[in-house]
Amino acid sequence: MVQNKNSVKHNQLDSFFKSFKDNDVPGLILMYGDSYLMNQALDSFSSFLLGDTDKQFALETLEGGTISMGDIIEQVSTFSFLVSKKIVAVKNAPLFQAHTNSQGISFTPSDLDHLIDFIKKGLPADHFLIFTTPVIDKRKKIYKAIVDKGFVIDCSVATGSRKADVDEQKSVLQAVARQVLSKSNKSIEAPAFHSLVELTGFNLDLFSQNLEKLIVFSGKRSAISLLDVKKVIIRDKKDPIFNLTNALMAKDVKNGIFYLSSLFNEGYHPLQILKSFENQIRKLILVKCFTQGFYQNKNSMNLKQINFNLFKQQVLPKIITYDEQTKNTIEEREKYLSDNGSKKQKKTSNDLLLAPYPKNAYPVFQVFQKSENFSLNELNQALIFLGDLDYRLKSSSFDARTTIENFIINTCSKRGFVYVEKN
């Protein structure tokens, strides 16, 4: 396991610098995660190490995949006649990628063993070797060797859709905005910031570039406005497919059609979109079957109006009990099949559970609330339609985009989705 003293998050670098004396700074650094944050960390680390020394002579940047391991070790071992300190930074180093025969230089197991031997012997005094890489594998020997003799800077940011992930992304975007805008003594209004994030997505390089454009466009004004964003920034966000399914669950026609168009423009296949709809509607059907018990008497709660805390206190325990019963039923069935000739017992599928990860209850809460937008009959009819559409996509040629658009419009309509009665 990596100890805390051997690693630090990208937003804790200032504390890291204060904790080291000049002669105690590790000579070997590994940075991984977001490219923008790694570049920022590299700049900060270089400035900390070199002080007033000119980076032109003391910092040598190499591109991973274009230089051999032997050349890297030679570069960091060679002394400079001009400066006392030397930094060799290898960007996008293929330390954890499998060796391939494709174009570009990959590190073989022998290369990595050579690097590990070099690390164990120790770098020359006042020489520093920095690797940056998008991803790491903590099981690899090279990672353990770097942690043992050097330091790791975590520049990764959560990419999921959980509330905690979204909050982390927002915090990083706000920090980048403050850093970029402070150089010009400017600020950005809250509506303008939210609009910029919506247009850009979580792409820190693009986000910072757009901020630079807005700084120039706003001229002498101290604050960037929503109107500035609308005039200058073109939408360049790659939408995750859950934005489309969320729009469908909210019966939001406008955003549903918008995200569908965005996904098709990004090259998504109709079957990918269809499958995401199927999975979501199956989940809603499970929820509706479960919640029918809440409406059998007049004193039952309205799931669309309760808050998250009340949901956790009164509804979530019943969901957990229900899931346990589901697991037991499936396990008994699989055990019976196993005793009657089945080769091995299958693991319980999370698709059949209402809350497969009950500790992360907020997404469950959102699904339960949005299930109130539909009747069980609507969902059943939608699922039958998607099954027929799946068959048509695999067996004939037709305008799938228009058909899916019509499905979204009909599903989000007030009258509800009607299919079986017509077919």
Residue 289 predicted with pLDDT over 90: no
Tokens 């109107």, residue located: 227
Mean pLDDT lowest among 131-135, 161-165, 219-223, 365-369: 161-165
The pLDDT score that the predictor gives to residue 1 is 33
Cα 267 from Cα 401, distance rounded (Å): 12
Percent with pLDDT over 70 in the chain: 87
pLDDT in tens, 241-257: 888 888 898 888 888 88
C-alpha of 92 from chain center:
19
* Residues 6+ away with beta carbon under 8 Å from 372: 302, 303, 304
Average pLDDT (328-343) is: 75
Grade residue 90 by pLDDT with cuts at 50, 70 and 90.
very high
pLDDT in tens, 403-421: 898 898 888 887 766 775 5
The pLDDT score that the predictor gives to residue 171 is 92
Residue 370 predicted with pLDDT over 50: yes
The pLDDT score that the predictor gives to residue 10 is 87
The pLDDT score that the predictor gives to residue 56 is 75
What does the angle CA 166 – CA 169 – CA 173 come to, to the nearest 5 degrees?
140
The pLDDT score that the predictor gives to residue 347 is 54
Average pLDDT (248-268) is: 85
Residue 286 predicted with pLDDT over 60: yes
Average pLDDT (20-49) is: 85
Higher pLDDT among residues 3 and 22, named by residue: 22
Grade residue 422 by pLDDT with cuts at 50, 70 and 90.
low
Q: Indicate the helix (H) or strand (E) that contains 62.
A: strand 59-63
The pLDDT score that the predictor gives to residue 3 is 41
DSSP one-letter code for 317: H
Q: Is the separation of the CB atoms in 373 and 250 below 8 Å? A: yes
What does the angle CA 52 – CA 57 – CA 58 come to, to the nearest 5 degrees?
65
Domains and CATH numbers, the chain: 4-155 (3.40.50.300), 163-232 (1.10.8.60), 243-422 (1.20.272.10)
Q: State the burial class of residue 89 (Cβ atoms within 10 Å of its Cβ: 0-12, 13-18, 19+).
A: buried
Grade residue 101 by pLDDT with cuts at 50, 70 and 90.
very low
The pLDDT score that the predictor gives to residue 296 is 61
The pLDDT score that the predictor gives to residue 155 is 93
Residue 292 predicted with pLDDT over 90: no
Residue 348 predicted with pLDDT over 50: yes
The mean predicted confidence, pLDDT, of the chain is: 83
Grade residue 4 by pLDDT with cuts at 50, 70 and 90.
very low
- CB count, 10 Å around CB of 393? 17
pLDDT in tens, 15-34: 777 776 656 778 899 999 99
Claim: this prediction has a pTM higher than 0.75: no
